[in-house]
Amino acid sequence: MKRIIVISLILLMLPVFAVIGQQKEVNLYGSAEVRTIEYLAQQYEKETGVRVNWIRLSSGETLAKLRAESANPQGDVWWGGTTDPHSIAALEGLTEDYKPSIYDEIDPRFRDPLGNGSVIGVYVGALGFSVNKKLLDKMGLPVPKGWEDLLDPRYKGLIGVANINTSGTALTTLATQIFRLGEDEGMEYMKKLHANISNYTKSGSAPGILAGRGEIAIAIIFLHDSIYHAEQGYPVIPVAPVEGTGFEIGAVNLIAGAPNPEEAKKFIDWVISAKTQEGLGSVGSYQIPTNINAKVPDVAIPIDEVNTVDYDFNWVAENGTRIMDRWTREVFVLPR
């Protein structure tokens, strides 16, 4: 009789274990700052009850991870980081087209660079410099106003930028010179700039911290990162290059073969909503929201107020891997 009762209790408990085992989840690869990814994960879990398993990798690292996992995808959504690596992934079939339910709420200029829902824009930010003016003043050096100023030999060892093989910010930097000058001329510019670079970091925003600490004087990063670093007390100022500069469209993609595709789509719908985009400002994310109904952070630098080059996102998607390889062969190997 006791055995029958025990078996009956076990059978009654099985549905409970089944429910626990079937908790909904989404696996998120994030390529923006850790604080923003953590904010999104916590907010989504709070609002939906869906568990968010997340890791932070730079854009280049995430692209490499998707390539390595292509036969057995582990992630569901790739959010954040520049459009360019996202677009390369889309052309390689590593991500799937998906038009969110509120697709029409996204600014037409930024919502879908490749078309067909291949890459969806979630924020916009202009590339520029974060300058430690206090350090330059101490050294008797002027604040650089544009790209050509960075070639001044007096800045040798004082400039930082990320490595193109790991960072979307660095790829935007290279593409900016190509669109500004032409491919061969742009590569020659990068060779001259290389002579003044102190070191190449893995993360796109990391040079900004080095500039803030006074380890270097000039960081090539997105202007919104410079604003955040200044807000944190670092003696830096944002500078938009006078000759014109590139800009990023931060992106979100549905990973091809995602283990939780329906949950992934729901997350993408949520992450491009006006409410979610506005909320990111609370953790110092000062990019320009792409949702036309979202309020722009008060401290943000509007993209329309920056002189930008004619940045061709489709060209970078098709040629990004090639020019990255070319930079590695022709520039990175040079002595400094």
Task: Say which CATH topology domain 24-124+249-302 has.
Answer: D-Maltodextrin-Binding Protein; domain 2 (3.40.190)
* pLDDT at res. 4: 47
Question: Which amino acid is it at 96?
Answer: E
Is it the case that residue 6 has pLDDT exceeding 70?
no
The DSSP output letter for 49 is -
3 compared with 253, residue with greater pLDDT: 253
Residues 255 and 95 sit within 8 Å (Cβ to Cβ): yes
| Backbone phi, psi, residue 29, to 5° | -100, 120
d(CA 249, CA 316): 13
Domain with CATH 3.40.190.10 in the chain: 24-124+249-302, 125-247+318-332
CATH assignment, 125-247+318-332: 3.40.190.10
d(CA 260, CA 124): 28
Q: What is the pTM of this model?
A: 0.90
* Tens-digit pLDDT profile for residues 67-100: 999 999 999 999 999 999 999 999 999 999 999 9
164: phi then psi, degrees, rounded to nearest 5: -60, -30
Q: What is the pLDDT of residues 164-220, one digit of tens each?
A: 999 999 999 999 999 999 999 999 999 999 999 999 999 999 999 999 999 999 999
